[in-house]
Amino acid sequence: QQPVQSPQAVILREGEDAVINCSSSKALYSVHWYRQKHGEAPVFLMILLKGGEQKGHEKISASFNEKKQQSSLYLTASQLSYSGTYFCGTYTSGTYKYIFGTGTRLKVLA
């Protein structure tokens, strides 16, 4: 039931791009993306509400394919500050429960 993210981990050099995928076996009404740095709280990045919606935040953008029950997070020209673990999250159909994806660890090297 937990959304599966891929890859599990990725290492980049500064300036490189990355794509993180989030795939659910259940219908998604929305997808939220968070970044969590080690020892800190998750920080909200963006929300996608509609199928086909794309959002951008600085050099981080995301897309949501409602039919495929997938979302992707795109990190362009990565910076050192992008390092952390990225989680997608969604509310569970028919409940108030919120579930996070399996997480993707991203490390950006100088």
Partner 1 sequence: NAGVMQNPRHLVRRRGQEARLRCSPMKGHSHVYWYRQLPEEGLKFMVYLQKENIIDESGMPKERFSAEFPKEGPSILRIQQVVRGDSAAYFCASSPPSPGQGRFLAKNIQYFGAGTRLSVL
Q: Closest distance between partner 1 and the C-beta of residue 99, in Å?
A: 6
Q: Judged by CB under 8 A, does residue 84 bind partner 1?
A: no
- Residues touching partner 1, count (CB under 8 A): 25
| Interface residue with partner 1, options 8, 14, 29, 59 (CB under 8 A) | 29
Question: Looking at 8-16, 40-48, 52-60, 65-73, which segment touches partner 1 (CB under 8 A)?
Answer: 40-48
Amino acid at 46: M
Q: Are 3 and 88 in contact (CB under 8 A)?
A: yes
Which regions of 1-109 does DSSP assign to beta strands (E)? 4-6, 9-13, 18-23, 31-36, 43-48, 54-57, 60-65, 70-75, 84-91, 98-100, 104-109
Task: Return residues touching partner 1 (CB under 8 A).
Answer: 2, 29-30, 32, 40-44, 47, 49, 87, 91-103
